[in-house]
Each structure stands twice: as C-alpha cells, then as structure tokens.
Amino acid sequence: MVEDKTFSGRLFSIVNFTLLAIIALVTVLPFLHVVAGSFTTSAEMAMKKFILVPTIWSFDAYKFIFSTNTIFRAMTVSTGVTIVGTLFSMFTTALMAYGLSRRDLDGRKGIMFLVVFTMLFSGGLIPTFLVVREMGLIDSYAALIIPSAISAFNLIILKNFFQNIPEGLEESAKIDGCNDFGILFRIVLPLSMPAIATISLFYAVTYWNTYLSAILYLDDSAKWPIQVLLRQIVVLASGLDYSSDLDAAVPPPDQTVKMAVIVVATLPILIVYPFLQKHFAKGAMLGSIKG
Amino acid sequence: MQEAHQENAVQLVRVPQPRTSELKKRLWKNKWLYVMLLPGVLFFIIFKYIPMFGLAIAFQDYKPFKGIGGSEWVGFKHFERLFTEPDFLNILTNTLLLFGMNLLFYFPIPILLALMLNEVRFSFFKRTFQTLVYLPHFMSWVIIVSISFVMLTSDGGIVNELLEYFGFEKVNFLLSPEWFRPTYIIQVIWREAGWGTIIYLAAIASVDPGLYEAARMDGAGRLRQVWHITLPAIRSVIIILLILKIGDVLELGFEHVYLLLNSMNREVAEIIDTYVYTAGLRQGKFSYSTAIGFFKSFIGLVLVITANRLAKKMGEEGIY
C-alpha cells in the first residue's frame, strides 16, 4: 500500500501504533514479571514488588520446589501424557481424516455430520464421566488421553488439508500397487508435514495443559499432572478457602516460589512456541470456516 | 472362494439390482479406508454419542449400582425441580451475565485489534505484535489464573501495591464478589483477544487492494477506508463467529470459572458448569445435575440453530 503522507494520515498511524504497542506490553509484562520474580530472592521481591530484571539473581525458589520430588513427578507425568497423548491423537486423527478426505467413500457425509454434531451438542460432564468410569479408566493415565483423543476441530482441519492434495498422486500410487495405508503413510502424510506439525503442536499444548480431565478422573494425587499441582500451590494457597485439599499446617509459599512453579509449568510451551508460531495461523485458518 | 462366489452372484443379479452390487463393490474396494475410520468412529460413538444417550439419567433417579437399565424412571421431575430451585435461578443468572459480558466486552475486541493491526505498514512490528499477543492463548487457564493471582493478591501483589502507591485503598480482588466478573472478563480478553484476530486478519488479507485504491481516489481517509471497505469485507466472518459464540452461550469455560471460584464469591461466580461438577460429582446428585447439563446443551443447540437461521435471513451463508 502507498504510504499516507497527509497530516491526518500520520496522526492516525502514530495513535494506532502507540495503542498497539501498549496492548502488546500489557499482554507480555505479567509474564516477564513472573519470570523475573522467580529468579530473585524473596527479600528483593517483597521490597521491589515489580521486577523485570532481577538485580539480585537467585535460584532459591527453584531449589526449593525441586527439593521435594512432587514437582519433578508431576512434570514427568505431564511430559509422558503429552508425548503419548500427542502420538495417539495424531495417529487416530490422521487415519480418520484421511478416510473422510476421500470423496469416493460411501457414508462419508453421514460420518462428517456425526462429527460436526458433537461440536454443537454433547452429553455433558456427568454422562461422560459415567462412560469413562464404566470403561475402568478412573485413576489411570489413559483417562487423560483416550476420552479426549480426537478433537473434531483438528480432525476437520486435517481432512481439509488432505483434500487439497491432488488426487492424481494418490491414483498413480494405487496403480503402482499401493493400498490405502501405503498411500496415507508414503504419499499423503509426507506431503502434509505443515498441517501435521501444526496439529501435533495443538494436541501437545492441550495435553500439557490438561487440568479438567485430571481433576475429574484422577483421585490419586500421586498421579497429578503439573497443572493440578500448580493450582494447589498458587490458587489454593492464595488465602482462599478450598483448603480442605491442602494441608493447613503448611504456610503459604513465597511469591517467588509461586512464580517459579508458574514458570516451570509454562516452560515447555515457551520452548515450543517459536516453532508453533510459524505454522499455526495457516493451520487455524484451514479448518475454521469451511466445514 | 468367497470372492469368486460373490462375483458370480453379481453376474446373476446384475440386471435387476445394478446399484446395490456397485455399492458392494465400492465398499469392498474401500475396505482399508473403513478400517482407518474405525478407531475414530469408535471414539466418537463411545465418548460422544453414548454420553448423549446417557442423558437419559436426567429422567431417572439414577443409582450408580443399578445403572441406567435398573434405575427408576421419574419423567420430568428433575427438570421441574430446576425451575423452582432458587439456587438454579441464581446460577442461570450468573451464567447468562458472564455470557453477556463475553459478547459485549470480549467479542468486538479481536475485530478492533485486527482492523488496527491491518493499518500497520511495518511488517516487522506487525509480526512481533502478533507473536506477543498470540502467546497467552497457549497457556492453560491454571497458568493465566495463577499469574493474575500472583499479581492481584492483597499480600504484596503488584496491582495492590500500585493502588496503594497512588493513594487508593487496597482491593481484595480474589475474594470480593463485586470483583469476580471484571476479573473474569479481563482474563478472557487477556488470553484470547490476540488469538481471536487471526481469522479476521485472514479475511482482511483477501480484500482486493484495488478497492482501497479507488476509495483513495475518491478522497477517503484512513478511517473511512476502514469503515467502508475493510469492515464490510469481514462482515460475513463476523457473523459466522457470532453464531458460533452464541452457540457457546453457556460454554464459559468450566476450568476458568472453577479456578476463580471460592466461598466468598460463590454467590456471583457459581455457573452451570461448576454447579454440575460440585453437585454431580462431589455430592453425587447425578440425575439432577445431568438435567441441568442437558438443559444447558439443549439451549446451546437451539440458539445456534436460531442464530444460523437469522444469519441466513440476513443474506449470509451461516455455518451449515
């Protein structure tokens, strides 16, 4: 576009620019505050209140949270659930998406309708809970994965992506004697890496952030993922009264300790985010409007 | 052997029933595709459709030991109770108020942000901005709520320190009923506003640049171009997202509200989802809370259908 050189045009740009810059800052400052706070002493935190760069660096908060194995165990659970869950979800989603992407498949429209309908109406919490319990998944890590294995939204994104692959490629593979599994794994998947990467990351983030399934299906606190533990440490210890879950004899943790737990629970996302960010806008677009 | 036999059968019946046999052939040809669909279809049946049939317990006095088959049917008893229970009217009001706030305060923001961002000419600034404001979307509600708790606590939280510094009273944001709704909506905006721009930006990107050219020729300034070209161009996307949002009417996010809920703000913070969880799973009122959940899902469905019809009447495409 041509640069607008009039006075009102420039004023518009400056105001617009400033507002956006403020919005970006407001979004990010809390994170920076928490990260910086986790790396300083509780004394400096208590004195300065708001920190973007610590003057006194300290790893005490991290030493403290890793001095017991609770956090470490929760991180292991979350990591395991994220890896296994993402692989499982990708596998089932890709298989189903490929089947549904083939226009010559009878019944495909009916199945698509059933999938989309689940986005509009659901049995809700209690009936779903009863099914999960009936299947004997309570208190197993599988309960965090299997009941949420396929996201209808991700399925539709992937199906649309597969549909855009030229049919000629698939046909020529068939002539060369490939069956449908061969076509999916040798032709379609390698051509769909951007979509696969996006959706894997969507799934991975969801599994890392698992909270609801954990409080619904896990009674055993030794199996808690990091998000549930984070709630125990920060939300419940903030002078609120859900204390029945929490040992009343333990004093509420320092601000710095809370911040360190937040950072630890967020870290994996901050690590994958740069990779994620490259792809997702496109991926989110693909599925969002066309059914 | 089996196959050869079928071939023969096909030969024999070809004349009277050509379509069925062609279908059979196609089904057999695509057998591996059906095998591929199997795990997914099973998933949707078991974890989505069986629970829908499980809604039947809303019409029963469900006893876990007896199961759906053995529990007594009681008709609309639980639904009748809904409308006479003062508790229910309260959670319904809370739910609708949060929904209204979502629609009023959250919904327009991504549109506004996308319009503003579209006016930025430096792509470096634009990219950096997007990277920063998309980020919170990937954080769980536990993380978002935890961060704001650390900032809002009256015990050394930065917000209260600032208030004090500027001579205001400290506010106990986390325990005051009157601060629950503002806290809730600000967190929603903080987490989702940036992410929400993606779809609008994509819609804006497909606008023909010639239109802007022509408008400039006619002497339209920047604001006029936004008003007369960009905004109408994303009208249909706005309507689609509005329908989807309305469909989510009672879907305010169990996790988010549950994390903010405590005994001090329960009066305003208890919504249908959190109530279903506490009454159903904590207190074992399976049937009553299922009835409430059913009511919610049903209203959601009705609203989507209505909103979609309205959109079509307005000459838009709708979502189906």
CA–CA separation, A287 and A160 (whole Å): 7
Instruction: Tell me if B33 and A105 make a contact (CB, 8 A cut-off).
Output: yes
Of A17, A92, A127, the CB nearest to B40: A92
Percent of chain B exceeding pLDDT 90 equals: 41
Tell me the CB-side half-sphere exposure of residue A130, using CA atoms within 13 A: 28
Average pLDDT over residues A138-157: 95
Proportion of chain A above pLDDT 70, given as a percent: 89
> pLDDT tens for residues B13-56?
445 555 678 888 888 888 899 999 999 999 999 999 999 999 99
Say how far apart CA B115 and CA B94 lie, in whole Å.
32
Q: Which residues of A touch B130 (CB under 8 A)?
A: 281
Which stretch of A202-211, A220-229, B64-73, B208-217 has the lowest confidence by average pLDDT?
B64-73
Give dist(CA A139, CA A206) in Å, integer: 19
φ, ψ of residue A116 to 5 degrees: the values are: -65, -35
Query: What number is the average pLDDT over the span A148-173?
Result: 89
Residues in chain B: 320
Lowest mean pLDDT among A49-53, B82-86, B257-261, B285-289: A49-53
Residue A252: the pLDDT is 62
Extended beta strands in chain B, E state: 60-61, 72-73
% pLDDT > 70, chain B: 91
Least confident of A45-59, A239-253, A276-290, B159-173: A239-253
Q: Which amino acid is at B278?
A: T
Q: Does the distance separating the beta carbons of A45 and B296 come in below 8 Å?
A: no
| Number of neighbours of residue B127 by Cβ within 10 angstroms | 11
Q: How far is B149 from chain A (nearest CA, A)?
A: 7
Shortest Cα distance, chain A CAs vs residue B47, angstroms: 6
Cβ-Cβ contacts under 8 Å, B136 against chain A: 27
A122/chain B closest Cα distance in angstroms: 6
**Position A280 pLDDT exceeds 80:** no
Q: What is the pLDDT of residues B227-274, one digit of tens each?
A: 989 999 899 889 888 887 887 655 667 899 999 998 889 999 999 999
Q: Please judge whether B198 and A281 are an interchain contact, meaning their C-beta atoms are less than 8 angstroms apart.
A: yes
Q: How confident is the model at residue B70 (pLDDT cuts 50, 70, 90)?
A: confident
Mean pLDDT computed over A64-84: 92
CB B174, CB B90: distance < 8 Å? no
| CA triple A268-B140-B184, angle to 5 deg | 150
Asked if B159 and B228 touch (Cβ cutoff 8 Å), the reply is no
B68 compared with B113, residue with greater pLDDT: B113
What pLDDT does residue B66 have? 84
Cα distance between residue B126 and residue A13, in whole Å? 13
Contacts of A80 (CB under 8 A, 6+ apart): A141
Question: Which among A111, A258, A277 has CB closest to B150?
Answer: A258
Give the residue from chain B lying closest to A207, CA to CA.
Answer: B140
Residue A47 φ/ψ, nearest 5 degrees: -80, -45
pLDDT of residue A194: 83
Question: pLDDT digit string (tens) for B176-187?
Answer: 999 999 999 999
- Yes or no, beta carbons of A123 and B50 under 8 Å apart: yes
Q: Are A101 and A163 in contact (CB under 8 A)?
A: yes
A54, A44 Cβ separation under 8 angstroms: yes
Going by the DSSP 8-state scheme, the letter that residue A52 receives in this structure is: S
Q: pLDDT at position B3, please?
A: 47
Output the six-digit token pair for A4: 């607008």
Which residues of chain B does A34 touch, with a Cβ-Cβ cutoff of 8 Å? 147, 150
A149 pLDDT tier (thresholds 50, 70, 90)? very high
**Max CA-CA distance within chain B?**
94
Report the pLDDT value the prediction gives residue B67, as an integer from 0 to 100: 83
Higher pLDDT, A244 or B17: B17
pLDDT at position B206:
85
Please report residues of B whose CB lies closer than 8 A to that of A129.
280-281
Tell me what pLDDT residue A288 has.
Answer: 45
Distance (Å) from the C-alpha of residue B84 to the closest C-alpha of chain A?
22
Residue A78 or B88, more confident: A78
User: For residue B4, what pLDDT is reported?
Assistant: 47
**pTM (global) more than 0.90:** no
Q: Secondary structure of chain A in the HEC alphabet?
A: CCCCCCHHHHHHHHHHHHHHHHHHHHHHHHHHHHHHHHCCCHHHHHHHCCCCCCCCCCCHHHHHHCCCCHHHHHHHHHHHHHHHHHHHHHHHHHHHHHHHHCCCCCCHHHHHHHHHHHHHCCCCHHHHHHHHHHCCCCCCCHHHHHHHCCCHHHHHHHHHHHHCCCHHHHHHHHHCCCCHHHHHHHHHHHHCHHHHHHHHHHHHHHHHCCCHHHHHHCCCHHHCCHHHHHHHHHHCCCCCCCHHHCCCCCCCCCHHHHHHHHHHHHHHHHHHHHHHHHHHHHHHHHHHCCC
Q: Which residue has the higher pLDDT, A46 or B185?
A: B185
Q: What is the pLDDT of residues A113-135, one digit of tens each?
A: 999 999 888 888 999 999 999 99
* B22 CB-side CA count, 13 A: 6
pLDDT for the residue A246: 47
Maximum mean pLDDT: which of A20-34, A56-70, A155-169, A251-265: A20-34
Average pLDDT, chain B: 87
pLDDT at A239 over 80: no
ipTM for the assembly: 0.88
**Higher-confidence position of B120 and A250:** B120
Query: How remote is the C-alpha of A102 from its chain's centroid?
Result: 29
Which of A258-272, B18-32, B80-94, B121-135 bottoms out in mean pLDDT, i.e. has the lowest? B18-32
**CA distance linking residue B97 with residue B257, whole number of Å:** 13
How many whole angstroms separate alpha carbon A280 and alpha carbon B283?
Answer: 41
Nearest C-alpha neighbor of B216 from the set A2, A11, A16: A2
* Amino acid B17: pLDDT: 53
Provide the pLDDT for residue B310.
Answer: 85
